[in-house]
């Protein structure tokens, strides 16, 4: 059964023939078929042949965002829902900010399953803000062109917390046309100081000319806010 289903393109073909996602997934895995209320008019031989010739349904890429209360098992519930609809979470980032848990994930899923996924997420994740949007993939060749002549650097910043630090740093980076790859910020308690310390870590790509210009601008930010800023090349 499993080998036949593999040739038919797995559960995606069964879903196109009206089989619910859970039953289709069980059949595609080679397990015992799950019962469902099948329509009176079964798929004709011609429909089965067309499904066989069409092969598996192409997947589309989407970015999924989720934010809400920190609860045990929330990621497991989210991943299970995506999987039940024939989707696959490929890459994700998550963080806890205050008492709010947030996650962003890149997933591939048959386009025809998106309405069902949206409905399932609304039903199962009522405490959370969840939405998706289509996303493209960056080809390796295009990524190489985008980063040609660039070196990756890590910026580390520390100093007394003050309004406008993030704005000043990111504006400097934008004016130097550097590409921010990742950035994290946090507040920590300064030992024996009695005031909060602001910490920022960012990874970015820049060529030599842009880096020199950025370092000059960051010196001004450092002086204006009383910060310590260092920039080091990332080891390859």
Is it true that 59-136 and 143-233 share their CATH fold?
Answer: yes
How far apart, in whole angstroms, are the C-alpha atoms of residue 63 and residue 109?
Answer: 11
| 143-233 carries CATH number 3.30.70.260 | yes
Q: What pLDDT, on the 0 to 100 scale, is given for residue 150? A: 81
Fold of 59-136: Alpha-Beta Plaits (3.30.70)
Q: So what's the pLDDT on residue 25?
A: 52
Q: What is the mean pLDDT of each run of 10 residues along the chain (236 residues)?
A: 46 52 52 48 60 64 96 94 94 92 95 94 95 81 63 95 95 94 90 84 93 96 96 86
Query: How far, in Å, CA of 124 to CA of 139, rounded?
Result: 34
Sign, CA torsion 217/220/225/226:
positive
Return the pLDDT at 38: 47
Which pLDDT score is estimated for 194?
75
User: Are 161 and 196 in contact, with CB atoms under 8 Å apart?
Assistant: yes
pLDDT (0 to 100) of residue 49: 64
CB proximity list for 32: less than 8 A, separation 6 or greater: 26
What is the pTM for the complete model shown? 0.66
Q: Tell me the domain boundaries of the chain.
A: 2-34+44-54, 59-136, 143-233
**Rounded Cα gap, residues 160 and 213, in angstroms:** 25
* Predicted pLDDT of residue 87: 94
> CA-to-CA distance for 99 and 48, rounded, in angstroms?
50
Output the pLDDT for position 173.
Answer: 96
Q: Which residues pair with 204 in a beta bridge?
A: 153, 180
The predicted structure's pLDDT at residue 45 = 66
């Amino acid at each position: 059964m499993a080998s036949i289903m593999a040739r038919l393109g797995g559960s995606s073909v069964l879903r196109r023939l009206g089989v619910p996602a859970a039953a289709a997934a069980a059949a595609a895995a080679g397990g015992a078929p799950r019962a469902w209320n099948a329509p009176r008019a079964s798929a004709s031989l011609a429909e089965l042949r067309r499904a066989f010739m069409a092969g598996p349904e192409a997947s589309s890429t989407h970015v999924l965002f989720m934010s809400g209360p920190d609860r045990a098992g929330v990621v497991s519930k989210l991943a299970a829902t995506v999987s039940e609809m024939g989707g696959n979470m490929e890459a994700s980032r998550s963080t806890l900010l205050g008492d709010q848990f947030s996650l962003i994930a890149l997933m591939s899923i048959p386009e025809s399953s998106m309405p069902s996924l949206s409905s399932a997420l609304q039903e199962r994740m009522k405490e959370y803000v969840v939405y998706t949007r289509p996303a493209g993939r960056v080809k390796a060749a295009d990524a190489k062109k985008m980063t040609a002549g660039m070196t990756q650097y890590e910026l580390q910043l520390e100093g007394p917390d003050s309004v406008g630090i993030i704005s000043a740093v990111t504006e400097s980076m934008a004016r130097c046309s550097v590409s921010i790859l990742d950035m994290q910020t946090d507040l920590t308690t300064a030992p024996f100081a009695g005031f909060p310390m602001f910490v920022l870590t960012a990874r970015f790509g820049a060529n030599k000319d842009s880096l020199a210009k950025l370092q000059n601008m960051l010196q001004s930010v450092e002086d204006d806010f009383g910060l310590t800023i260092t920039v080091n090349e990332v080891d390859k």
